[in-house]
Amino acid sequence: MRTFDLTPLYRSTVGFDHLFSLLDSFGGADGGNPAYPPYNIERTGENAYRISVAVAGFTEKELNIEVKENTLSIRGEKEVTEKKEQDEVLYQGIAARAFERRFQLAEHVEVRGASLENGLLHVDLVREIPESKKPRQIAIGTGKGQEKGQEKGQVKGQVIEAKPAKAA
């Protein structure tokens, strides 16, 4: 098992402590199998993402998707069915065990929908930043024409038009 010491990164960064704590806990400290079920994270647009989880053998009723406090949880639990005595499994390579996979979502990321196709659960995500949080450019006005009654260093109250900045 590999272990990584991220202590030097804590000393050389400011404000990313939460990120490195997540990396520390990513190694499977919960004791579960961190590789089951396998998944992909894809970027489908400028602010659109898709998480695809391999859930072969699970039906829609056996899967549960929940979002709580920027954490997306995907759970799967097989329904217990009585096995027929005539069916004898010689080798079981398809996993039918329960699982729970969690993903930390960034701020302003919302789940738009989910679909189950060909044994893959697709969860579509969109990042929508509110207008008040988007960067904008502020025009700089000139300090010409100070009027009487204003002390040095004070600028007459002017409304300067603010234009939205181009997204990076």
Residue 71, domain CATH: 2.60.40.790
DSSP state of 133: G
* The predicted structure's pLDDT at residue 21: 57
126 lies in some domain: yes
Q: Would you say residue 41 lies in a domain?
A: yes
Q: What residues form DSSP beta bridges with 101?
A: 74
The answer to whether residue 159 is domain-embedded is no
Q: Give CA angle at 36 (33, 40), nearest 5°.
A: 130
Domain assignment present for residue 48? The answer is yes
Determine the pLDDT at residue 96: 74
Which has more pLDDT, 85 or 51?
Answer: 51
Residue 162 resides in a domain: no
Please determine, for residue 160, whether its predicted confidence score (pLDDT) is greater than 90: no
Q: What percent of the chain has pLDDT over 70?
A: 61
How many domains are there within the chain?
1
Find, among 139, 144, 166, 168, the residue nearest to 155 by Cα. 144
pLDDT at 81 over 80: no
- DSSP class of residue 45 equals S
pLDDT tens digits for range 8-54:
655 544 445 555 555 555 544 444 556 788 898 888 888 889 999 99
Is residue 124 a part of any domain in this protein?
yes
Asked, for residue 7, whether it belongs to a domain, the answer is: no
Handedness of CA 143, 144, 148, 153 (dihedral sign): positive
For 75, the domain range is: 34-79+92-130
**pLDDT reported for residue 168:** 53
pLDDT top residue among 11 and 94: 94
pLDDT > 90? residue 115: yes
Nearest CA to 51 among 125, 109, 105, 156?
Answer: 125
